[in-house]
A and B are shown apart, each in its own frame.
Chain A
Amino acid sequence: MIRRTILLTLITAASLQAQVSYERILRAGQEPQNWLTYSGNYNGQRYSSLVQITPENVKNLELQWIFQARSLEKFEATPIMTDGIMYTVEAPNNIVALDAATGRVFWTYNYTPAQAARPCCGRVNRGLAILGDTLFMATIDARLIAVDAKSGRPLWNVAVAKPESGYAMTVAPLVVKDKVIVGTAGGEYGIRGFIAAYDAKTGKEAWRFYTIPGPGEPGHETWPASNNAWEHGGASVWVTGSYDPDLNLTYWGIGNPGPDWNGDDRGGDNLYSCSVVALDADTGKLKWHYQFSPHDEFDYDSTQVPVLVDTQWQGSQRKLMLWANRNGFFYVLDRATGQFLLGKPFVEVNWASGFDEKGRPQRIPGMTPSAQGTLILPGNQGGTNWYNPSYSPKTGLFYIPTWANYSSLYVKQPVEYQEGRNFGGGTPRPTTPTGIRTTVNNYAKEDEGYVPFAQSIRTPAK
């Protein structure tokens, strides 16, 4: 009886260990019972080494508890787990600390975003970051807030950008060393996107990298010299980046250029929209970039977590980056240099036929939005979207949630920039019903070279 009581007490008593140090985050893989960053690990693999749940016993899982959110918004957050405490966001921007064993609430930090907040595509949030005893949340009114993880009390609250100009944040911040890194959304409202780092103690901005280069900066020539399209050319950040501590580079996917579906006034490649950028984590300085979709007109945000994998590639050990992009292609890059190693479609694609040596997509003539509409695969949601991929070092497989056999009719319309107003320039219309499937890529099977679609699990169309 006594033993049973002690056991029960142990089970019900969850405890918070104070220090989620940077060193602990670096070694997050060694404590699989926790989940210390958005992707679980700096490498973005979203791989758990826990083995309790197996294909054999998964059918026996039973409901243990329910947390009833006081919100009708969607849950898009990945919770942070530290030593029995689960921290998540009740959309749009309330932080909740839960006992992971029972679902009971320790505290809630309620934040009401400013009326001016107009996030495209949902009043959602993708989660938190933690360092020490402090949680960090990016809000839909473009503020960054630090909250005490034990009491839920706010510590600092700083403006990252102006919501009146269309800026918003739905991203889960990324903590690197003593800094908190976030990126701004708002590409549908004519923002000039940026990634910025803030001092974790004070909230003071440490560096800022504009995702559209200004005059005099390399890449500015990819925007017209004849107008100011670059000033509101979008290039949002929607999803958290990853980090390679050896290279001290943090990698972030950049969203579409604006106007989304009408590129007439923004001739050129429109860097760094639809790209991955590799930034020095201490200074925010650009080390390299690779653009997946130059001069995009299909809303093909690179809104995916860069997945970092160290493995053999064509006979030698390489630091790779794997990326299934919204544009329908699966990529392998060298993440030290940005070198393009491979690009293959993982769903049906009709806007590009392949790549040149440097990895620039070869466009198919006529495949652009038009006044009467052009049927493009993949459609506006993309071959995949923000829903995270994962990589298993055990199987060597890369797992992608995908939209299969999916197209949109891209109709182009004129649009003029007005601060804080929609800046779409068109309408992507739905076409055929589609299903969702999970694609599993064996991207590096050495004996046969690259073999796409090792398996595909298809969900019937609804």
Chain B
Amino acid sequence: MWAIAIRSCLFISMLAAGAVPVIAQHEYTSSEIEAGRQQYAANCTRCHGPDGDNVANADIGHGKFRRASTDEELVQLIRNGVPNTAMAGMNNISEPNAKTIVAYLRSMAATAAAVAALPTGDAARGKAVFESKGGCTNCHRIGDVGSRAGPDLSQIGAQRRSVELHRSLIEPDAEIVPANRLIKIVTRDGATITGRLLNQDSFTVQLLDAKDEKLKSFSKSNLREFAFVDKSTMPSYKDKLSTQELSDLISYLSSLKGQAQ
């Protein structure tokens, strides 16, 4: 699986992005990259951040490695660590899993171009865009301000890459995280409720009504319809915000690391 590269999404995205130079020894399948993304989120984000640029002089999200260059060296570094640094050896990560992390690191470097082309953002200005022109608080919550209808963004900067935030702002339907899908139910007497799915079992469903933000529990036998909403309810900001405003907004969202555990 590791050695045999079948077809690379990375290659396609490289072309689309205008051929970003990366030194990958392998081409990777999209499933390897996705597996690596999950491994990275579970093992690496805490120190390196979602964009891989949290550690000084080790911008691993943009292919800037100080102590390794080949994929094999990176796998060894992940598993053995770097002596006398905070980078501990992570031998709990199996070699195949470490390889998927390398696959993801290579793909990060390749796809970072979309935001690299944006002007430098300003988080303070981005906050103003979030709260006024963007109207983001109508659906999103940060800390104890804003609506609970959409995903809570208090820690979004610790969870999502800048490129992912950029894509969500431009193409909200491109990727909807399963947990963030809205659910729509229609009761037998015709009432329609859209909200965030909190829990369900064989007989009942619990949700947060997006409209009045109340917690509601229903017996499924009293429902006529019960399904996820395919499309995002978020508008595209492609033509709503200037390039600078988009960059500011992304800077602001990237700065939101949250506090509480």
Contacts and interface: CB of A to CB of B under 8 A. Distances in A.
Given A150-B148, A151-B148, A105 B199 contact: yes
B189 A9 contact: yes
A153 interface: yes
Interface string B166-210: 000000000000000000000111010000001101001010110
B216 A14 contact: yes
Contact of B189 (A2, A99, A145, A201): A2
For B152, B191, B199, the residue with the greatest tally of chain A CB atoms inside 10 Å of its CB is B199
A97 B217 contact: no
For A133, A145, A155, the residue with the greatest tally of chain B CB atoms inside 10 Å of its CB is A155
State which size class the interface on A falls in. 35 or more
A102 B204 contact: yes
A85 B208 CA distance: 12
A14 B199 CA distance: 14
For B144, B152, B208, B219, the residue with the greatest tally of chain A CB atoms inside 10 Å of its CB is B144
A5 to B, nearest CB: 5
A371 interface: no
Contacts of B206: 99, 104-106
Nearest to B152: A153
Interface in A1-23: 2, 5-6, 8-9, 12-18
A6 to B, nearest CB: 5
Nearest to B193: A13
Interface in A114-170: 133-134, 145-146, 148, 150-151, 153-157
A91 B204 CA distance: 25
Contacts of B143: 155
B85 interface: no
A69 to B, nearest CB: 15
A85 B259 contact: no
Contacts, number: 87
A101 B217 contact: yes
Contact of B208 (A5, A150, A154, A157): A150
A47 interface: no
Contacts of A134: 144
Nearest to A145: B260
B222 to A, nearest CB: 6
Interface in B124-177: 143-144, 148, 152, 154
A154 B143 CA distance: 9
A104 B217 contact: yes
B208 A151 contact: yes
A453 interface: no
A288 interface: no
A207 interface: no
Contacts of A106: 198-199, 206, 208, 215, 217
B216 to A, nearest CB: 5
B72 interface: no
Interface string A48-89: 000000000000000000000000000000000000010000
A146 B261 CA distance: 11
For A17, A153, A154, the residue with the greatest tally of chain B CB atoms inside 10 Å of its CB is A153
A210 interface: no
A161 B143 CA distance: 24
B73 interface: no
B210 to A, nearest CB: 11
A417 interface: no
A107 interface: yes
A104 B201 contact: yes
B225 interface: no
B199 A6 contact: no
A213 B256 CA distance: 42
Nearest to B196: A151
B215 A150 contact: yes
Contacts of B191: 9
Contact of A15 (B189, B199, B216): B216
B214 interface: yes
A113 to B, nearest CB: 12
A278 B215 CA distance: 38
5 contacts: A5-B189, A14-B215, A99-B217, A104-B199, A150-B148
Given A104-B206, A150-B148, 4 more contacts: A14-B217, A104-B201, A105-B199, A153-B154
Cβ-closest 5 pairs across A and B: A154-B260, A99-B217, A15-B214, A157-B260, A16-B215
